[in-house]
Amino acid sequence: MADVQVVKVDERPGFYHRPEWYRPLLFGDNIYMNVTYLLAGVGMVMGSKREKEAELLERAIYMLEGRVEVTCGDKRYDLVPHTAMLVPLQPGPQVEVRNAGECTACFITVFSPPPHPDLKIASVERLEQLYRDAKRVVKAPGEMKEVIATRPG
């Protein structure tokens, strides 16, 4: 059973997940939450083929800053601050998210169940270990301020 967790975003390291950056927030038995940062003009696909076929993750997105365009099948949705979106728990088309603004877009993503149950990621320390073992980029909390600057220039 997961313990009660209280975290501050600014105290979390940042993980580069090609092409987005994210900061993990909460690790539960049935839920996972992070803050995702998408740089201006950058797009990403939510969920790997494995997640869509085997894990079937339900996702909720809540916009904090910026503007993103979310495409799911033949439908497009514009998300701006204080807008939430549910991506249902079902197989289907990929969900594409594109930063349509001129500054970094920032949104909270909640997954249920947590992704990659086989990796047993129940803490930021375990996630950081997996990233470092795989030679993937992890930034200290202070370094993330430069990476995710929300204002152009």
The CATH number covering residue 39 comes to 2.60.120.10
Q: Note if the pTM is more than 0.85.
A: yes
Residue 14 CB neighbours (<10 A)? 21
Structural domain count, the chain: 1
Note whether 20 and 38 are within 8 A (CB): yes
Element (H, E) at 27: strand 21-27
Residue pair 79/63 in contact by the 8 Å Cβ criterion: yes
**Residue 4 falls inside a structural domain:** no
The reply to whether 135 falls in a domain is no
Q: Please write the tens of the pLDDT for every residue from 37-68.
A: 999 999 998 865 555 555 577 889 999 999 99
Query: Could you list the residue range(s) of the whole structural domain that residue 100 is in?
Result: 12-123
Per-residue pLDDT of the chain in tens (153 residues, 90 and over written 9): 778 999 999 999 999 998 999 999 999 999 999 999 999 999 998 865 555 555 577 889 999 999 999 998 889 999 999 999 998 876 667 789 999 888 999 999 998 988 888 888 999 999 999 999 999 999 999 999 888 775 444
Q: Which long-range contacts (CB under 8 A, 24 or more apart) does 130-138 make?
A: 131/15, 136/15, 136/16, 137/15, 137/16, 138/13, 138/14, 138/15, 138/16
In a domain, 47, yes or no: yes
